[in-house]
Amino acid sequence: MKRSRVALLMLLVLLPLALPFAVWLDLRDVTASLLRRQASDLNSAISSIRKYYADHIVDRVLASPGGTRVLPNYEEVPGAIPIPATLSLELGRVIGEQQADISYRFVSDFP
């Protein structure tokens, strides 16, 4: 009977000492999981940007027999490419379609 009390007492002393270690292991796992998810989201965003650029910009330049111009209404002019503001807005839309947890807003000082 005395041995079981000593074992129980030892257990009650050791369990609180093990708690910080258990918390550390759990936080390490949560952090690793979060970093993997963020890396995956960033990879998806970059892949979306590359696909958009290849499909909408490079194809237009290659398909144009003449020179290339940079215009806000580039879709209406063969071979034209978008101005940076238009490209930013369209990339924000593309990224938003691929990643629900990434939001993108284009803010300007000008109306």
Using one digit for the tens of pLDDT, what is the confidence trace for 61-104?
Answer: 777 777 788 888 888 888 788 888 788 788 888 777 777 777 76
pLDDT at 30 over 80: yes
pTM: 0.52
pLDDT at res. 1: 64
Higher pLDDT, 12 or 111: 12
pLDDT at res. 55: 82
Q: Which two tokens stand for residue 10?
A: 């030892």
Q: Which two tokens stand for residue 67?
A: 């020179």
Higher pLDDT, 101 or 12: 12
**AA identity, residue 22:** A
For residues 75 and 84, the answer to whether their CB atoms sit within 8 Å is no
Annotated domain spans of the chain: 2-98
> What is the DSSP code string of the chain?
-HHHHHHHHHHHHHHHHHHHHHHHHHHHHHHHHHHHHHHHHHHHHHHHHHHHIIIIIIHHHHH-SS---EETTGGGSTT-EE-HHHHHHHHHHHHHHH-TT-------S--
